[in-house]
Amino acid sequence: MEKEKSISLDEFIFRKLQPLRILKSYMVGELELTEGDDVRLSRQDFDNIVSTLDIFLEEYDRVSSFRGRKAIGQSEKKTSFLDAAKPQAIKTIA
């Protein structure tokens, strides 16, 4: 069995946001190339944008374990904002 590497919360977030940064740059480039008020994208490009967002959201749901949590289980929060000053709180969130 492989050991999982420990990474910092900042590094983890940076990795997960990288595809969204690339997507944003692509969309800004499309806006700059387009003249007028209408922006046209091919169906394939639009599908790729939706897929990128889906992957990010699925990964977030997997990591946060938020999806599927019932109202009764709200007390299962890993930490609260009031605990953020404690050094172990960040490790608990990650």
Domain coverage including residue 53: 9-34+41-65
CB 7 within 8 Å of CB 91: no
CA distance 26 to 34: 12
Domain tally, the chain: 1
Residue 20 forms part of a structural domain: yes
Please state the rounded mean pLDDT for residues 48-63: 87
Residue 61 forms part of a structural domain: yes
Please state the rounded mean pLDDT for residues 65-93: 49
Percent of the chain at pLDDT exceeding 90: 28
Residue 83 forms part of a structural domain: no
Residue 56 forms part of a structural domain: yes
User: Which one-letter DSSP state was computed for residue 5?
Assistant: P
Q: Is 69 left (phi over 0), alpha (psi -120 to 50) or beta?
A: beta
Mean predicted lDDT score pLDDT of the chain: 74
pTM of the prediction?
0.55
Residue 50 forms part of a structural domain: yes
Residue 30 forms part of a structural domain: yes
Report pLDDT digits (tens) over 4-49: 677 777 887 888 889 999 999 999 999 999 988 888 889 999 999 9
Residue 28 forms part of a structural domain: yes
Residue 3 forms part of a structural domain: no
